[in-house]
């Protein structure tokens, strides 16, 4: 009898968490193969802007070279909901004579398992393996104290063990725990942050990341018309000088995006909108923060121009209909920067400083050339000069955030 593990999911996209669970299950239970069973587009899970074929292609890339990992598309093109019990029944019919199945569940699905459609049928045809982690979506961290966190972990472990016993009893089938898997990742987090190269590198197989970049998956799609319309709209909000700067940043951000293979229209949109709150008065900026519950720090209260990033991000979402959170984030942090910025954050931060209309800052030639050679070093140089400039302009307070960004990038280039 061949032992087959079945790992079902939307795989939107497949990531290292999936691969680790598959590898852990294979080793621990001596499985011969793991079948990556791709679901179709079921109504309860939104699978937007990506085709079933693309999800399948990514799984194929991810498992290439992994012995015994096999992509399976039997549910992929079905328009109606495929219940796992139906699939298992089918698998049993086709392969039951020489295969023994192990159905792999994430922790979340495990707790609700008895409320699935016909769990008893699933248990008739497969043993159940439970990953002590969620491999699809996981919750954000809460404010638990370290002791609280330990207590919560213990409570969860206890509940988990009880649940295993309860299910074994109820379904008269083996339920096993897969030994812990270190990486905690979710596909939704990856969809949000995949254009941050450092993050993608630890979350995804190289080939999958490249596929996402080649096909520009998971980026909000901005057409040329949308950019043009937005430009017209923003022109009315800015004075002539600020508008000229904005166009300069848009073009420079687009160019940097070419160089670093980032979706260039998203970078252009970020450039176009980054200073949309710059021509408001300080009172207006503070009023918006108050109304919208946007946090204002002490330094920001003294220097409300610093708020034009955060307020700009707010307006970009509400008024200019940007949904892409990574784009909104880049706008929010464009003045002070932030430690560990995403690629888009850095592109905007740099474009803002080097766009062709800028001419006052020193060593601009050097910084402009560095932008296309080493983005982190370029960010550092900009911060170095900005802090020096602010230090010279005695009246201005330095935002701790600016300092923190400086120190972070200093450490990066020295490492
Ligand atoms: O909006 P822009 O002028 O295009 O560019 P920006 O958003 O980078 O803002 C630039 C100004 O913000 C520049 O004069 C330097 C200043 N700035 C950056 N970090 C700090 C800061 N000003 C203060 N007071 N404190 C900071 O930490
Ligand atoms: Fe700005
Ligand atoms: Fe700017």
CA 205 from centre of chain: 15
Asked whether the beta carbons of 62 and 207 are under 8 A apart, the reply is yes
Least confident of 45-49, 84-88, 387-391, 403-407: 45-49
Name the more confident of 138 and 213: 213
Residue to substitute in 335, 385, 403 for testing ligand 1 pocket (most ligand atoms within 8 angstroms of CB): 335
Return the residue whose CA atom lies nearest to atom 7 of ligand 1. Answer: 335
Q: pLDDT at position 42, please?
A: 59
Distances (CA, A) of 388 to 32, 365, 409: 62, 18, 16
Q: Which atom of ligand 1 is nearest to the CA of 249?
A: 4
Tens digit of each residue's pLDDT (9 = 90 or more) over 259-275: 998 989 999 999 999 99
Task: Compute the C-alpha angle 44/46/52, nearest 5°.
Answer: 110
Return the residue whose CA atom lies nearest to atom 1 of ligand 1. Answer: 275
State the average pLDDT for the chain: 91
Q: Which atom of ligand 1 is nearest to the CA of 396?
A: 24
The whole-number average pLDDT for the span 119-127 is: 96
Going from the Cα of 336 to the center of ligand 1, the distance in angstroms, rounded, reads 7
**Neighbour-count burial of 220, counting CB atoms closer than 10 A to its CB (0-12 exposed, 13-18 middle, 19+ buried):** middle
Ligand 1 in reach of 355 Cβ (< 6 A): no
Q: pLDDT at position 205, please?
A: 97
Tens digit of each residue's pLDDT (9 = 90 or more) over 63-79: 998 999 999 999 988 87
The whole-number average pLDDT for the span 336-342 is: 93
Q: What CATH class does 2-211 carry?
A: alpha beta
The whole-number average pLDDT for the span 93-105 is: 95
What is the third-level CATH fold of 220-414?
Hypothetical protein af1432 (1.10.3210)
Q: Hey, where are the domains in the chain?
A: 2-211, 220-414
pTM of the full structure:
0.69
Tens digit of each residue's pLDDT (9 = 90 or more) over 33-46: 999 999 887 555 55
Within 13 A of 376's CA, how many CA atoms are on the CB side? Answer: 16
Give DSSP secondary structure letters for 67-114. TTEEEE-TTTT-SSPPPHHHHHHHHHHHHTTTEEEEEEE-HHHHHHGG
The whole-number average pLDDT for the span 78-87 is: 87
Q: Which atom of ligand 1 is nearest to the CA of 336?
A: 19
Q: pLDDT at position 138, please?
A: 44
> Does position 106 have pLDDT exceeding 90, yes or no?
no
> Does position 228 have pLDDT exceeding 90, yes or no?
yes
Give DSSP secondary structure letters for 304-360. GGGGHHHHHHHHHHHTT----HHHHHHHHTTTT--TT--HHHHHHHHHHHHSTT--S
The whole-number average pLDDT for the span 104-133 is: 91
Q: pLDDT at position 227, please?
A: 96
Lateral strand order in the sheet of 2-9: 69-72, 33-38, 2-9, 99-105, 126-131, 175-178
Going from the Cα of 44 to the center of ligand 2, the distance in angstroms, rounded, reads 40
Q: pLDDT at position 167, please?
A: 95
Tens digit of each residue's pLDDT (9 = 90 or more) over 295-324: 999 999 999 999 999 999 999 999 999 988
Extract the runs of DSSP E, i.e. beta strands, from 134-203: 175-178
Going from the Cα of 387 to the center of ligand 1, the distance in angstroms, rounded, reads 10
Q: pLDDT at position 135, please?
A: 55
CA–CA dist 5, 38 (Å, integer): 14
- Please choose, from the candidates 229, 216, 242, 305, the residue with its C-alpha nearest in 3D space to the C-alpha of residue 269: 229
**Neighbour-count burial of 61, counting CB atoms closer than 10 A to its CB (0-12 exposed, 13-18 middle, 19+ buried):** buried
> Does position 247 have pLDDT exceeding 80, yes or no?
yes
Asked whether the beta carbons of 332 and 308 are under 8 A apart, the reply is no
Q: How confident is the model at residue 376 (pLDDT cuts 50, 70, 90)?
A: very high
């Amino acid at each position: 009898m061949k032992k087959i593990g079945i790992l079902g999911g939307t795989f939107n996209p497949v990531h290292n968490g999936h691969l680790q669970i598959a590898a852990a299950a294979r080793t621990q239970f001596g499985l011969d193969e793991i079948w990556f069973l791709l679901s179709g587009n079921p109504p309860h899970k939104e699978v937007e802007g990506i085709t079933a074929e693309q999800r399948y292609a990514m799984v194929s890339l991810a498992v290439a070279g992994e012995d015994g990992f096999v992509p399976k598309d039997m549910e992929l093109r079905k328009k109606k909901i495929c219940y796992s019990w139906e699939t298992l029944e089918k698998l049993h019919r086709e392969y039951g004579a020489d295969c023994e199945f192990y159905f792999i569940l994430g922790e979340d699905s495990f707790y609700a398992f008895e409320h699935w459609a016909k769990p008893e049928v699933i248990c008739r045809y497969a043993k159940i393996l439970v990953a002590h982690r969620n491999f699809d979506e996981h919750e954000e961290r809460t404010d638990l104290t370290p002791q609280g966190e330990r207590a919560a972990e213990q409570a969860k472990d206890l509940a988990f063990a009880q649940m295993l016993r309860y299910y074994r009893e109820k379904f008269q089938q083996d339920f096993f725990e897969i030994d812990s898997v270190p990486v905690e990742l979710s596909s939704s987090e990856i969809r949000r942050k995949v254009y941050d190269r450092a993050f993608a590198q630890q979350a995804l197989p190289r080939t999958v990341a490249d596929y996402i970049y080649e096909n520009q998956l998971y980026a909000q799609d901005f057409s040329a018309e949308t950019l043009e319309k937005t430009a017209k709209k923003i022109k009315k909000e800015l004075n002539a000088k600020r508008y000229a700067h904005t166009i300069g940043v848009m073009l420079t951000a687009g160019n940097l995006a070419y160089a670093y293979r980032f979706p260039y229209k998203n970078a252009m949109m970020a450039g176009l909108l980054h200073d949309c709150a710059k021509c408001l008065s300080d009172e207006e900026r503070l009023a918006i923060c108050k109304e919208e519950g946007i946090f204002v720090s002490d330094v920001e209260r003294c220097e409300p121009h610093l708020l034009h990033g955060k307020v700009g991000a707010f307006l970009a979402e509400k008024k200019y209909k940007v949904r892409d959170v990574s784009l909104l984030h880049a706008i929010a942090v464009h003045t002070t920067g932030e430690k560990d910025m995403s690629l888009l954050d850095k592109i905007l931060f740099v474009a803002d400083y080097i766009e062709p209309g800028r001419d006052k800052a020193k060593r601009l030639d050097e910084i402009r050339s560095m932008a296309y050679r080493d983005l982190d070093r370029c960010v550092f140089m900009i911060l170095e000069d900005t802090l020096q400039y602010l230090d010279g302009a005695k009246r201005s307070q330095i935002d701790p955030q600016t300092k923190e960004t400086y120190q972070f990038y200093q450490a990066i280039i020295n490492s």
